[in-house]
Amino acid sequence: MKKIIVVGATSGLGREMAAQLVKAGHKVGIAGRRSELLNSFIEEHKSIATEPIEAQVLDVTAPDATAALDQLIERIGGMDILLHVAGAGFENPALDAAKERHITEVNTVGFVSIIDHAYHWFRTHGGKGHIAAVTSISGIKGMGIAPAYSATKRMQNNYLSALAQHARMDGVRLHITDIRPGYAQTDILTPDKKYPIVLSPEKVARVAIRAIKRHRRICTIDWRFKLVVAVWSLVPRPLWERITFVK
């Protein structure tokens, strides 16, 4: 049994991962902004939970985010794994500046605030731990239909890599897992848009949890998106910038 905090557990991938972790017998603390969804998670899962589920309202961009995280860690009696799933993302073909700023705020400032706080917590509580985060395959290339989203996901990929190096230099025995799913059926997808491949949240959660268990550093989900990423990586920049993505 591990003590696991899931930040961004109210809906989508985070909710599904939290559910599978509860079913597997872990002690889970869930966080997110929507308190009604935190409460409904507890209601839905309390009969199968072997350990009480704790919930904490937390906005990753708020100044009190780290204090809220501390409260949740205390309520579950410590932390073995910090799983950061919280994220904002939508296509923004009109390049609406307010939307771009919101995505940037949640996926960079909010991300760094939670991940850094977890790092320091692990460093001062035994010098070991595991930070896992759901980023995306979108960080591989800049996407014209989602500039802030693709750019902030790249930042997250690089931040986790930097943190892995930092932990080694710091002598902290920290596992870091960067989970990079392709499109999955959650509220983040543009409604009514036809996507070529869409994964189920159940599958993404199952594969991601297995990767965390195996201490994998990077986990791209699934094999079809691995192929997509491999092809994208080979496209030279001048050609990439001439590609038109369907809006």
Task: Please report, as ranges, the residues that interact with ligand NAP according to CB under 6 A.
Answer: 8-14, 32-34, 37, 58-61, 85-89, 106, 110, 134, 136, 181, 183-184, 186-189
CB–CB of 53/42 below 8 Å?
yes
Nearer to ligand NAP (CB atom), residue 5 or residue 172 = 5
Q: Hey, which residues does 179 pair with through a beta bridge?
A: 134, 219
Minimal distance, residue 138 CB to ligand NAP, in Å: 7
At 89, which amino acid appears? Answer: G
CB–CB of 180/218 below 8 Å?
yes
The whole-angstrom distance between residue 129's C-alpha and the CA centroid of its chain comes to: 17
The whole-angstrom separation of Cα 49 and Cα 68 is 23
CB–CB of 215/177 below 8 Å?
yes
Minimal distance, residue 67 CB to ligand NAP, in Å: 14
Minimal distance, residue 150 CB to ligand NAP, in Å: 10
Nearer to ligand NAP (CB atom), residue 129 or residue 181 = 181
Nearer to ligand NAP (CB atom), residue 27 or residue 180 = 180
Nearer to ligand NAP (CB atom), residue 105 or residue 123 = 105
Nearer to ligand NAP (CB atom), residue 1 or residue 230 = 230
CB–CB of 83/4 below 8 Å?
yes
Minimal distance, residue 173 CB to ligand NAP, in Å: 26
Tell me whether strands 81-84 and 54-57 are parallel, antiparallel or unpaired: unpaired
Count of positions (residues) in the chain: 247
Minimal distance, residue 174 CB to ligand NAP, in Å: 21
The whole-angstrom separation of Cα 244 and Cα 204 is 28
